[in-house]
Amino acid sequence: MQTLLITGTNTHSGKTILTLALAAYWQKYRPGRSLGVMKPIQTGYGDREQYHRLLKLDQSLTQINPIHFTAPLAPPLAAAQEGLSINLENLWQQFKSLHQSREFVLVEGLGGLGSPLTWETTVADLAWDWRLPTVLVVPVALGALGQAVAHVALARQCRVHLKGIILNCLHPCTGQEIRDWGNPKLMQALTDVPVLGCLPHLKQPTNLQHLAEAAAGLDLECLIPGP
């Protein structure tokens, strides 16, 4: 069994696209091998519904996303609005149950590594507490290099096992723009973390064939179990 946490430099960095791409690749090229997808905490509408609708998962919405709040806010603030608290121990038990029953589990974080889950913990803390190998998604944009350096520093401070970085084109990018804004060689030199590829901008981000093809262009040996 193997697990991978997908985190990013912020909200809308491309975590969901990478999760969908890896899941689509797994289901296309690892037929018959079990896959689990988990979004431990979600605020607002979006990711869990996409996973439930697009992927052939033997999971309910609640199994995909055990904790959900209506307001699109940081979880402790969204929970407070509803008069609720966040029980990370219960969340851990649900993750363990999924992990024990699947060959590969993709866990999508919320926001960036520094995003709060409770008043005391962040996504980085969860990655360490659950011992989750992690990949960092960095959008190709001005400032990408600094964001990558800052998040890798946070990962090291919190003892996160960071397997690599994936660049993501939120908008159509030329090769020159990728080299100018998210230069893989410079990013790797500054962080000492391998850049495992770049996701192209997808005009149809819900097309499973296109998602699987996008994943095929990444260094998958570092991301998913072998045949």
Catalytic residue positions, numbered: 39
Round to whole Å and give the CA distance between 8 and 225: 22
Q: Closest Cα to residue 163, out of 104, 100, 219?
A: 219
| Backbone dihedral angles phi then psi of residue 69, each to the nearest 5 degrees | -125, 150
CB 126 within 8 A of CB 75: no
**Residue 64's CB: how many other CB atoms inside 10 A?**
24
- The pair of structure tokens assigned to 18 is 């990478």
If you ran DSSP here, which 8-state letter would residue 116 be given?
Answer: B
Which amino acid would we find at residue 189?
A
Rg (C-alpha) for the chain, rounded Å, is: 17
